């Protein structure tokens, strides 16, 4: 999904320890099951006073703010791998972020929001990553969602278990 289809609904494109950016994407036309490890590629510029940066992206359901998944990145690892690269102050990179594994359902007519911050609530960034990071939702910013359509015949049912309530067929 090209981020041009999404709208900034809160915050600023400069993310600090105390600020965030909220982006809302269009509603889904049908119930959507997001599976696997979605990716989010975003253009990020680190501070002129820093050699690194830190980004945290939380995906929430638009209607109720329910947490669906998250991704976290030290920008020295913007290209992936196990060895971080050296960044010059003020560098701009494409942060190729990958969400932790997900298996969530977003109802028809609902959407998702991405909340970009430096740490979320669960992570403590390294001291060198505490300076502001600016993000751009331009052409280089893309959200890729892996989706799957499954019916009740494809769901695992443990032995000696009654059917899932949403799979039961009522006979009139």
Among candidates 86, 78, 17, which has minimal Cα distance to 42? 78
DSSP 6: S
Predicted pLDDT at 170 = 66
Predicted pLDDT at 119 = 82
Helix and strand numbers, DSSP H then E, in the chain: 0, 13
In this structure, the number of other CB atoms found within 10 A of the CB of residue 168 comes to 10
**Given the structure tokens 């990553």, which residue do they identify?**
129
Q: What is the pLDDT along the chain (172 residues), one digit of tens a residue?
A: 778 889 999 999 999 888 999 999 999 999 999 999 999 999 999 999 988 899 999 999 999 999 999 999 999 999 888 888 889 999 999 999 999 999 999 999 999 999 999 887 766 766 766 889 999 988 778 999 988 887 777 776 777 677 777 777 766 6
Predicted pLDDT at 82 = 87
Predicted pLDDT at 38 = 96
Where do the domains of the chain lie? Answer: 3-167
For domain 3-167, the CATH class is: mainly beta
How far is it, in rounded angstroms, from Cα 92 to Cα 95? 9
User: In degrees rounded to 5, what are phi and psi of residue 67?
Assistant: -65, 125
Predicted pLDDT at 129 = 66
Predicted pLDDT at 1 = 76
């Amino acid at each position: 999904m090209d981020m041009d289809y999404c709208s900034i609904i809160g915050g600023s494109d400069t993310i600090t320890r105390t600020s965030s950016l909220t982006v809302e994407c269009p509603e889904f036309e049908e119930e959507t099951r997001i599976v696997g490890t979605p990716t989010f590629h975003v253009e990020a510029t680190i501070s002129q006073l820093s050699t690194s940066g830190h980004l945290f992206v939380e995906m929430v359901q638009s209607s109720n703010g329910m947490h669906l998944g998250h991704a976290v990145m030290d920008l020295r690892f913007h290209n992936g791998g196990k060895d971080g690269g050296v960044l010059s102050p003020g560098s701009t990179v494409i942060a190729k972020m990958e969400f932790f594994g997900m298996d969530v359902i977003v109802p028809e007519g609902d959407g998702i929001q991405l909340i970009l911050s430096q740490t979320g609530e669960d992570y403590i960034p390294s001291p060198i990553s505490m300076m502001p990071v600016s993000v751009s939702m331009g052409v280089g910013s893309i959200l890729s969602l892996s989706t799957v359509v499954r019916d009740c015949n494809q769901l695992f049912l443990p032995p000696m278990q009654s059917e899932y309530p949403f799979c039961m067929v009522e006979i009139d």
